[in-house]
Amino acid sequence: MRRILRDAFRSDELYLHLTDVIAVDDKRPVEELADELIIHEAAYVLAKYTDAAQGFFHHAELQGEEGPELQREARANVKALRAFLAKYRNKLKAEKKVISEELALF
């Protein structure tokens, strides 16, 4: 399994989102999802927890409205998602910069 997927699967919610929603909708195995898509979906899943305006139950869990156990799980997911995005957003930006510089040579 690719490293980006192992890291993504540290968040239970991102794992479920990628395997049960994205891979099913795209009709392909999760292993074939592009890195950029995985990063984009991680940001989306994080927003489900942090943006109350989106109206997802994840935000209520993070705020403790659904009980302390679900709040702990939500906090763990948010922590994993933030770490994942910190690692891979910068990596993706660096790769795009290198590609842009290489294209500028032509």
66, 54 Cβ separation under 8 angstroms? no
Query: Could you tell me the CA-to-CA distances from 89 to 5, 22, 24, 66, 93 in Å, in that order?
Result: 14, 19, 24, 31, 6
CA 69 to chain centre: 22
Domain hosting 41: range is: 3-104
Quick one: pLDDT at residue 90? Answer: 80
Domain count, the chain: 1
Quick one: pLDDT at residue 73? Answer: 97
pLDDT tens figures, 39-57: 999 999 999 999 988 889 9
Q: What stretches of 1-106 adopt beta strand conformation (E)?
A: none
Quick one: pLDDT at residue 89? Answer: 86
pLDDT, block means (10 residues), the chain with 106 residues: 95 97 95 94 95 90 96 97 92 63 54
User: What's the DSSP call for residue 75?
Assistant: H
